[in-house]
């Protein structure tokens, strides 16, 4: 298993080369910075691997603005389709897994912002099936996928 660099030198060194090519859950309380961390890592990652950033409630425009505040401008990256935003807001449960797996099959890194929101709008069994399918697909792609979870939105 070859680690994947996050682009944060000290963090990659601490992790002995980067993060494992797995599905990574970034869990944090509101305001903890897990979204900022995910976006920073993905902004670096898009240099070597295309990214699809799935949103549930946030708009692509608001995320673009947030990232631009840190100097992470997506305009030219989106023009080449190396970075894509996709909304899952009104996605039927029956389509959810296929939409996400299709992006992974294209060797794209995937971020889901947020798993918490999906758990509010879909049956937990369907989300478990999604995560299981993502895990199987990720064994082939050998990159990391990021799932954001807001602590306190669901019961443990």
Residues whose CB is less than 8 angstroms from the CB of residue 139 and which lie 6 or more positions away in sequence, other chains included: none
Residue 2 has pLDDT above 80, yes or no: yes
pLDDT at 1: 77
CA distances 59 to 53, 62, 87, 120, 152, Å, are: 11, 5, 8, 18, 22
Give SS3 for 108: coil
User: What share of the chain has pLDDT > 90, as a percent?
Assistant: 83
Tell me the domains of the chain and their CATH numbers: 9-150 (3.40.50.300)
Beta-strand runs (E) in 67-108: 83-87
- How does the average pLDDT of the chain come out, rounded? 93
Mean pLDDT across 79-88? 97
Q: How confident is the model at residue 127 (pLDDT cuts 50, 70, 90)?
A: very high
pLDDT at 152: 86
pLDDT at 135: 94
Packing angle between helix 93-105 and helix 124-141, nearest 10 degrees? 10
Mean pLDDT across 99-109? 95
CA distances 115 to 77, 89, 156, Å, are: 25, 12, 14
**Cβ–Cβ < 8 Å for 125, 91:** no
């Amino acid at each position: 298993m070859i680690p994947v660099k996050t682009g944060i030198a000290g963090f990659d060194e601490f992790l002995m080369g980067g993060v494992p090519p797995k599905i990574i859950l970034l869990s944090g309380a509101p305001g903890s910075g897990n979204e900022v961390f995910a976006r920073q890592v993905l902004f670096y990652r898009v240099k070597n691997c295309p990214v699809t950033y799935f949103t549930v409630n946030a708009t692509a425009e608001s995320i673009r603005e947030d990232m631009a505040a840190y100097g992470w401008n997506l305009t030219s990256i989106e023009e080449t389709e190396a970075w894509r935003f996709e909304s899952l807001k009104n996605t039927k449960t029956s389509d959810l897994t296929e939409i996400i797996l299709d992006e992974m099959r294209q060797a794209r890194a995937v971020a889901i912002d947020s798993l918490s929101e999906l758990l509010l709008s879909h049956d937990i069994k369907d989300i478990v099936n999604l995560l299981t399918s993502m895990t199987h697909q990720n064994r082939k792609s050998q990159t990391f996928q990021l799932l954001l979870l807001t602590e306190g939105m669901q019961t443990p």
